């Protein structure tokens, strides 16, 4: 039986538009389970332990860049090294992804934003039905972090492709952490186009040219168009 795993994560909130948080991003990571990535998973796990974190630690990219939460006592070099571990894992693994970026200022209400998200995700699935139907089984993983996204996932994937929806803890799957990283990098890509990076992002990525060359361009090649 052929199985496609789909890991879903988001960045943003459904509150009113604010200048410091103008976007909402949803990222989906796709993995054909016939593609063995166990060696890559084990390699990443070893690197996380070597960095001083427990085996079950889930890398959260945005706090890592901002030096918040679990990473507030780590120096810049240590944080960059941990980021590179997850990035290299995601770049090398035989996976693909798709991100959806929504500018909150374009929506006058919470309901309009949710409706657009459902429409965009539904259109994407309809446009790729041949891809999804090529698998015997579809499993969608989400941590139920925001009820609106849970509702959209159930509506779109259950109605259109009859997927098995499962709740997941980020620490259980590195591909879920990859989805988190793709959200962060797509947010950075959007900010470069619109308003520019924050102070913490400029510290973490001091060269925009290197940021594009080493991170944004390589992951763009993994997008499922």
Q: What is the largest CA-CA distance in the chain?
A: 48
Round the CA-based radius of gyration of the chain to a whole number and report it.
17
Beta partners for residue 99, in sequence order:
27
Instruction: Render each residue's pLDDT in the chain as its tens digit; 225 residues.
Output: 899 999 999 998 877 767 678 999 999 999 999 999 999 999 999 999 998 999 899 999 999 999 999 999 999 999 999 999 999 999 999 999 999 999 999 998 989 999 999 999 999 999 999 999 999 999 999 999 999 999 999 999 999 999 999 999 999 999 999 999 999 999 999 999 998 999 999 999 999 999 999 999 999 999 998
**Cα(24)–Cα(15) distance, integer angstroms:** 10
Residue pair 5/136 in contact by the 8 Å Cβ criterion: no
Angle subtended by helix axes 38-50 and 76-92, to nearest 10 = 180
The torsion defined by the Cα of 47, 216, 195 and 175, in degrees rounded to 10, comes to -50
pTM score, whole prediction: 0.95
Nearest to 174 by CA among 77, 38, 62: 38
Percent of the chain that is helix, strand, coil (3-state, to 5): 55, 20, 30
Residue pair 150/178 in contact by the 8 Å Cβ criterion: no
Q: Could you tell me the fold of the domain covering 3-220?
A: Nucleotidyltransferase; domain 5 (3.30.420)
Output the CA angle 26-71-86, nearest 5 degrees: 50
Residue pair 149/49 in contact by the 8 Å Cβ criterion: no
């Amino acid at each position: 039986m052929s199985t496609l795993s789909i890991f879903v994560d988001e960045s943003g909130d459904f509150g009113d538009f604010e200048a410091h948080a103008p976007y909402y991003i949803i990222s989906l990571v796709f993995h054909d389970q016939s593609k063995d990535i166990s060696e890559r998973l084990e390699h990443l796990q070893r690197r996380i332990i070597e960095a001083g974190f427990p085996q079950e630690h889930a890398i959260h990219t945005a706090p890592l860049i901002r030096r918040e939460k679990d990473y507030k006592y780590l120096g810049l070099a240590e944080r960059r090294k941990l980021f590179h571990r997850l990035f290299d894992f995601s770049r090398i693994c035989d996976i693909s992804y798709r991100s959806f970026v929504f500018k909150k200022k374009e929506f006058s209400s919470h309901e309009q934003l949710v409706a657009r998200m459902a429409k965009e995700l539904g259109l994407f699935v309809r446009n790729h039905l041949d891809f999804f139907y090529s698998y015997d089984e579809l499993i969608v993983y989400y941590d139920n972090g925001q009820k609106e996204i849970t509702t959209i996932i159930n509506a779109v994937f259950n109605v259109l492709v009859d997927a098995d929806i499962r709740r997941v803890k980020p620490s259980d799957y590195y591909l879920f952490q990859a989805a988190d990283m793709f959200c962060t990098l797509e947010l950075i890509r959007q900010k470069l186009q619109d308003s520019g990076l924050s102070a913490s992002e400029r510290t973490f990525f001091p060269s925009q040219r290197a940021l594009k060359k080493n991170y944004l361009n390589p992951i763009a090649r993994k997008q499922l168009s």
